[in-house]
Amino acid sequence: MPVSRIAVGAPGELSHPDTAKAAVSEFISMLIFIFAGSGSGMAFSKLTAGGATTPAGLIAASLAYTLALIVAVSVGANISGGHVNPAVTFGAFVGGNITLFKAVVYWVAQLLGSVVACLLLKIATGGAAVGALSLSAGVGACNAVVFEIVMTFGLVYTVYATAVDPKKGDLGIIAPIAIGFIVGANILAGGAFDGAAMNPAVAFGPAVVTGVWENHWVYWLGSFVGAAIAALVYDIIFIGQRPHDQLLTTDY
């Protein structure tokens, strides 16, 4: 059972050079991802009247986030595992693939990367508005939580199937592409309803820069629940029992 492998870790992990390298990697990967993803929305708003709320804007956002995530995961894969998402890190923790101490370091780095990316976008565009995620008219908080749970389940399930599973073999080569594609597809499915975050950091950076925190909790609760369910389902059903020794973070 993955729950039996959950580990808090040791305080010494916080000062280990590999942890510092992983944190820097997650920070840079997140900065790349958010700068390109949020920046595409800002650019589309500048070029069109309806901005990112139009069908064309939704497709543009899907494409931008897909391509940016493929790159962000790829460049971080050999250093931090290329999580680029607090929910993915939480799913790894639930599955016993990362300790709590290291997960906290990842979360801090990921959130800082998102905030810095949004600040850089605001500076580079001369103060243009950084779009904060929000719920569409007629979509309640509970509806959005369900959306985030289902979409994040699909994302973390894909991560486990293509990157975490010890039996993945050569399939691990396409992990960044598969992860980017599922995010892009989910944006097309849920973007018009709640912004389709699947990633608390995607909502956090813009919220810090704009000061808009309404329904922000939705993006944390939904994504963390979806990630935990995906990790448990995949690990229990498809990975099964394995030695207690944890996977190295750099193995996925």
Distances (CA, A) of 55 to 38, 62, 95, 192: 17, 11, 37, 9
DSSP type of residue 138: T
pLDDT tens figures, 51-86: 666 888 899 999 999 999 999 999 999 999 999 999
Nearest to 38 by CA among 185, 199, 166, 243: 199
pTM, full prediction:
0.92
pLDDT tens figures, 198-236: 999 999 999 999 999 999 999 999 999 999 999 999 999
What domains can be seen in the chain, in order of their start residue? 2-241 (1.20.1080.10)
pLDDT tens figures, 108-155: 999 999 999 999 999 999 999 898 999 999 999 999 999 999 999 999
Percentages of the chain per state (helix, strand, coil), in multiples of 5: 75, 0, 25
Tokens for 116, please give them: 């810095």
Query: End-to-end CA distance of the chain, in Å?
Result: 20
